[in-house]
Structure formats: structure tokens, C-alpha cells
Amino acid sequence: MPAYDIEIILNRQLADCLSMPVFITDTTGNLIFYNESAEKVLGSRFEETGEMKVEMWSTIFKQKDEEGNLLSPESLPLVRTLHDRYPYHKTFWIESLQGKSEKISVTSYPIIGRAGKFLGAVAIFWEAKDL
């Protein structure tokens, strides 16, 4: 497999230096990198799992609203970014496979390279604050 575009590599290198959980996907949503902070969210280590197909990592936790209703994938920031290549932000609840719930905010943005080419997307998870 050829090396990733430089814009993807630089995003990983930035993520490597950050203490916020950062997830990087390709253009179809496959998880190609997550940093050390994101490992705690996923409950697995990147060195062990490597890249994850979208079908696999999208089932690791359920996304819910304040009332505990399941959110549709289409309403989630990263999915929306992958769909229309714009940044999004949303606060919601996630429930892990172990049943642990946590309120988080997610910011996503597209990676659009020098030639205007869409290369992937980044999602940053924040500890949710009541605004």
C-alpha cells in the first residue's frame, strides 16, 4: 500500500502530540489512526488493533441523546463531515460495550489537501461542558 498523503501524515503527527482524543479516518470512514488519549475512549490500543473498518469501530459504542434515545449515525459530526466535507460539532452521550455512559462533545473537520482533494476526516472528543 502506498504511503498516506502528507496532509494525513501531518494530522497524525499533530494528534500524536495532543492530549485530547483524536480519531483520523479515510474518506469512507475507516479508522486509520487514533492517538493515545483516544485509546482510553475505545478501550483498545492502536498498536494492537491497527486500522479498523468503519463497520467495526462504529459499533464500539452507542450514541444517545439526553433522554437516552439512540442517535442516528447521520446526525453525528464525523458522519456528516464525511458526507458533505464540512466541520461539525455536537454534544451527546456515548455508551461503551461495557455499559459505561459518558457525556462528550465531538468536533469533526475534513482534511482537504493542497490540490483541493478530500483525503479524510478528523474527530476530536472533548469532555462535555454544560453551556
Q: Which residues bind other proteins (CB under 8 A)?
A: 1-7, 9-10, 12-14, 16-17, 33, 114-115
As measured in angstroms, the least distance from the Cβ of 112 to other proteins is 13
Of residues 30 and 96, the one with the C-beta less far from other proteins: 30
Of residues 5 and 95, the one with the C-beta less far from other proteins: 5
State which H helix or E strand residue 9 sits in: helix 6-16
* Distance (Å, whole) CA 7 – CA 111: 7
As measured in angstroms, the least distance from the Cβ of 23 to other proteins is 15
As measured in angstroms, the least distance from the Cβ of 11 to other proteins is 10
As measured in angstroms, the least distance from the Cβ of 27 to other proteins is 15
* Distance (Å, whole) CA 43 – CA 10: 25
Q: Which DSSP string do the residues of 10-75 spell out, in sequence order?
A: HHHHHHHT-SS-EEEE-TT--EEEE-HHHHHHHTS-HHHH-SB-HHHHTTSEEEE-TTSPBPPGGG
Of residues 115 and 131, the one with the C-beta less far from other proteins: 115
